[in-house]
Amino acid sequence: MSVATSKPAAPPVPPSIFSPGLRSASIGATALIALLALEYIAVGAAMPTVAGALDGYGLYNMAFGATVAASVVGMIVGGWWSDKAGPRPVTVTGVLTFAGGLLLAGLAPLMEVFVLGRAVQGLGSGMTTVAVYVVIAQRVPDVRRPAVFSLLAAAWVVPGLAGPLLTGVIVEHLTWRWVFLGVAPVALVALGVFWRALSATRASSDDTRARPATLFWAVVAAVGVGLLNMSGERIEGIELVVGPVILVLVAVASWRLLPPGTLRFGRGLPSVIGVRGAMGGSFLAAEAYLPLMLRDEHAYSPAQAGAVLAASSVAWALGSWVQGRLRESIDRYQVMTLGVVIFIAMMGLLAVSVWLRWPGWVPILVYAVATLGVGLAYPTTTLLTMRLSPAAEMGRNSSALQVGESLTGAVSLAVTGVVFGYFYAAQPHAAFVGALGVSAAVGMLALVSVLRSRPVPDATG
């Protein structure tokens, strides 16, 4: 007579992301992402003062481009390292590197040193961001991840609303240096909050070999992204030749760094990553020109023009909150599709509203609804990436999600910059319509990707 054996019961799912077993992961991840977001947003408000104080207007663009470029390398290294050694050493190294970059920038006597500090920040933030997602994948049950992702969205909203104002007060009443020096110790406190979750993480792959080719293509992508972010809006002379060459190199690097099939909309994970990249590139390009359009075409003050960014931040958080409250039985592919459809429809309407010169409040409202769609789709791409990733590739695929977004964003900004610069001197209105039209076209790629995001069912299953 055989004795029936039963599988051990799965551990109970904590009732809340603030339960003792999840509190460190959810609060610690939110604190770290909020600090990265605050520094990303605040530096824009402080940069004019920094450039004036260090006589560094010639390196103004480099202060942004160096951060973006270094973050790509950090994401690639962080993803590989998280798989091989677990996310704890990656997070610690990333946070310490980020804090070191803050100190270097805050104490910089020259603009060249400041730019170096910004590059170090980017390297640290790239590693930290990827490692945080790996911690969530390992420590937070699948049914609780949407709620954590809605928290991470809020971690961007608060800095987006308060960051520029806080930076202005610090710059005006203290010194621009405290915008950087003041954040460094807080980053260490956030790491302490995250420590309990980090201590319970593990390596997921026995393959400890670093692939030199991967690091090489990461550097190629980083240099290409940096050059694209440094280029001006007017493309002429040798730039007409060099620009396309850089774009080709970035495309080749993307092909080597992203999961196979991403650039051709492969079924499943490659297209989920494609959704994230297309939406990210589209809204980054739009945000670069919407405040300027409101100022030039509708005579909005800087504060009034900034309302488009504030409204989009709130709408994004609302969309993310909604997806975090959905029932477990909801098909997440349908949620992502709904977000993409809302986003694409609104981005097309946004370009039309600018073309037809509708009142300034219309593009603000339309763009807010568009980012509501982003709030629905963005965290869903992260959730689906985790579901579609083997444990041994969680870090690598989390890295690919971030890298794809960064590379698409850099290319989108470069292309919209060319279109805008070509028209702006003679036909400013056409320049805005063209830039937002390019943004909407990039967003359309998300529709192609989302239609191919659901994996083909296993024929053997």
**Domains of the chain with bracketed CATH:** 18-203 (1.20.1250.20), 261-455 (1.20.1250.20)
Regarding predicted confidence, which is higher, 119 or 4? 119
pLDDT at 228: 72
pLDDT at 117: 94
Give mean pLDDT, residues 207-215.
Answer: 65
Give mean pLDDT, residues 74-79.
Answer: 89
Task: Work out the mean pLDDT of the chain and round it to a whole number.
Answer: 84
Range of lowest pLDDT (112-121, 370-379, 383-392): 383-392
HEC assignment per residue over the chain:
CCCCCCCCCCCCCCCCCCCHHHHHHHHHHHHHHHHHHHHHHHHHHHHHHHHHHCCCHHHHHHHHHHHHHHHHHHHHHHHHHHHHHCHHHHHHHHHHHHHHHHHHHHCCCCHHHHHHHHHHHHHHHHHHHHHHHHHHHHHCCHHHHHHHHHHHHHHHHHHHHHHHHHHHHHHHHCCCCHHHHCHHHHHHHHHHHHHHHHHCCCCCCCCCCCCHHHHHHHHHHHHHHHHHHHCCCCCCCCHHHHHHHHHHHHHHHHHHHCCCCHHHCCCCHHHHHHHHHHHHHHHHHHHHHHHHHHHHHHCCCHHHHCHHHHHHHHHHHHHHHHHHHCCCCCCHHHHHHHHHHHHHHHHHHHHHHHHCCCCCHHHHHHHHHHHHHHHHHHHHHHHHHHHHCCHHHHHHHHHHHHHHHHHHHHHHHHHHHHHHHHHHCCCHHHHHHHHHHHHHHHHHHHHHHHHCCCCCCCCCC
pLDDT at 348: 93
pLDDT at 227: 76
Regarding predicted confidence, which is higher, 330 or 153? 330
Range of lowest pLDDT (50-59, 189-198, 364-373, 401-410): 50-59
Structure tokens at 347: 């981005």
- The Cα–Cα gap between 277 and 443 comes to 9
Of 153, 122, 123, give the one whose Cα is nearest residue 40: 122
Q: What percent of the chain stands above pLDDT 70?
A: 89
The band of 116, judged by pLDDT with boundaries at 50, 70 and 90, is very high
pLDDT at 459: 41
Give mean pLDDT, residues 114-142.
Answer: 91
pLDDT at 1: 45
The band of 190, judged by pLDDT with boundaries at 50, 70 and 90, is very high
- pLDDT for residue 254 is more than 80: yes
- Mean pLDDT: which of 53-62, 210-219, 447-456 is highest? 447-456
